[in-house]
C-alpha cells in the first residue's frame, strides 16, 4: 500500500526537453524514496503504472514507452488518473501544447502541483493567467503549487529573482535584457564588439547547424519567443498585458520570406537579404555602437518592446559571449546600478 507521504510524478512530453528531464530524474529520484514516477505521456502513446504501489523504471523508460500500446492521455484523462492517487501529485509539462496549458487550473484546483517551461500558459490569454493564479496556492488554500521558472531564461533564476524583489517590497522600474540564447549567439557572431563578423545568412546557418535555433529558424527570428517571456515578466510586476500582440515586436524575417513554405526554403532564399542586416550593423558601427536583439519592460510607462537596439561597446549587453542571456532589473532599491542575472540561456 502506498504511503500517505508518497509523491507521484507524471511527465507530459518526452522529446528533447522531456528526455533531459527524465535523465535528471534518474539521478535525483533515488535520493527521495517517497517520490515515484507513475506516468509518461507523449503525443502518440503513454506509459503508466498499473497501481500506485508501482513505479515506472527510470533506466528503461524509453524502451518501455516505445513498446507501449496505450494511447496518449488527454489532459482530462491525466487529471482523473492523478486525482485517484493516494498522495501528493506533481505534473511536469515539458510541452508547448496550448491544450495542456489551458488545463493547468483544473489540475491546480485538485491540489496537483504543476511544473513547466511551457510559456503559452503564462503569456497567451490573460484570463488563463488569472485563472492559474486564482486556482493555485496561496490564492486557493487547497490548490496546488505552480512553478514555471524555466519559461523565462531557461535555467537562470529570472522569475524567482523578480518575484523575490516584488514580494519583499521593492519597486520595479524597468526590466531589460537579452532573453534569447539563439539571438545572443547570432548577434555575438554577426556583430561582435571587436568588429567584422560573418554574413547574416551564414551566421543563421551556423546557429541552426549548432542546434541553437528551432528546426525552422523563423520561429526564433520572428521575435515571438522573446515577446512571450516579456509578457510573463510584465504580468508578474502587475501589468495587465493581454498578449504578445499588445506591443511592438520586431521580426527579423524579411517580408518577402514570410510566405516560405518551409525552413529549408527560407534558408535558401535568406542570403539575398544579407544587405539589409549589414546596413543596420554598419549604421550602428558608424556611431561607435553595436546592435543586439533585446526586450524591455518599462513599468512606469507600461511600455513593452522587443527588437533591435544600439548599445555602446562598453555596455554589459554588448560584451555577452556565446549564447548567454543577460537580464537587468532596475529597481528603487538598487538605484542606478541594476541587479543583473547572466548566464547560459
CA count, 13 A, side-chain hemisphere, 288: 3
Q: Which three cell numbers stand for residue 173?
A: 522600474
Q: Which three cell numbers stand for residue 127?
A: 484570463
Q: Which of 229, 255, 287, 313 is catalytic?
A: 229
Q: What angle do CA 158, 162, 164 make, to 5 degrees?
A: 120
How far apart (Å, rounded) are the C-alpha atoms in residues 23 and 28? 9
Q: Is 110 a catalytic residue?
A: no
Residues designated catalytic: 229
Amino acid at each position: 500500500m502506498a504511503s500517505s507521504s508518497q509523491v507521484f510524478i507524471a511527465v507530459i512530453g518526452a522529446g528533447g526537453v522531456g528526455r533531459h528531464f527524465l535523465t535528471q530524474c534518474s539521478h535525483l529520484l533515488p535520493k527521495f524514496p517517497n517520490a515515484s514516477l507513475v506516468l509518461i505521456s507523449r503525443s502518440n502513446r503513454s506509459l503508466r503504472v498499473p497501481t500506485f504501489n508501482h513505479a515506472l523504471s527510470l533506466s528503461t523508460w524509453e524502451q518501455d514507452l516505445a513498446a507501449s500500446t496505450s494511447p496518449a492521455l488527454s489532459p482530462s484523462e491525466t487529471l482523473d488518473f492523478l486525482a485517484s492517487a493516494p498522495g501528493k501529485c506533481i505534473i511536469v509539462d515539458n510541452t508547448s501544447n496550448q491544450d495542456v496549458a489551458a488545463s493547468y487550473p483544473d489540475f491546480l484546483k485538485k491540489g496537483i502541483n504543476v511544473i513547466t517551461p511551457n510559456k503559452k500558459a503564462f503569456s497567451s490569454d490573460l484570463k488563463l493567467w488569472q485563472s492559474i493564479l486564482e486556482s493555485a496556492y496561496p490564492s486557493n488554500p487547497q490548490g496546488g503549487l505552480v512553478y514555471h521558472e524555466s519559461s523565462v531564461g531557461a535555467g537562470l533564476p529570472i522569475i524567482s529573482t523578480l518575484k523575490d524583489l516584488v514580494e519583499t517590497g521593492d519597486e520595479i522600474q524597468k526590466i531589460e535584457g537579452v532573453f534569447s540564447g539563439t539571438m545572443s549567439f547570432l548577434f555575438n557572431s554577426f556583430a561582435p564588439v571587436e568588429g567584422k563578423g560573418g554574413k547574416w545568412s551564414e551566421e543563421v546557418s551556423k546557429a541552426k547547424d549548432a542546434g541553437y535555433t528551432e528546426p525552422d529558424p523563423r520561429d526564433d527570428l520572428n521575435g515571438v519567443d522573446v515577446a512571450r517571456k516579456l509578457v510573463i515578466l510584465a504580468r508578474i510586476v502587475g501589468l495587465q498585458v493581454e498578449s504578445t500582440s499588445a506591443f511592438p515586436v520586431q521580426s527579423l524575417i524579411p517580408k518577402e520570406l514570410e510566405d516560405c513554405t518551409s525552413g529549408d526554403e527560407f534558408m535558401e532564399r535568406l542570403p539575398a537579404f544579407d544587405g539589409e542586416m549589414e546596413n543596420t550593423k554598419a549604421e550602428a558601427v558608424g556611431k561607435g555602437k553595436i546592435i543586439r536583439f533585446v526586450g524591455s519592460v518599462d513599468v512606469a510607462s507600461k511600455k513593452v518592446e522587443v527588437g533591435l537596439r544600439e548599445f555602446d561597446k562598453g555596455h554589459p549587453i554588448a560584451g555577452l559571449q556565446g549564447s548567454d542571456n543577460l537580464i537587468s532589473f532596475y529597481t528603487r532599491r538598487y538605484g542606478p546600478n541594476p541587479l543583473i542575472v547572466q548566464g547560459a540561456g
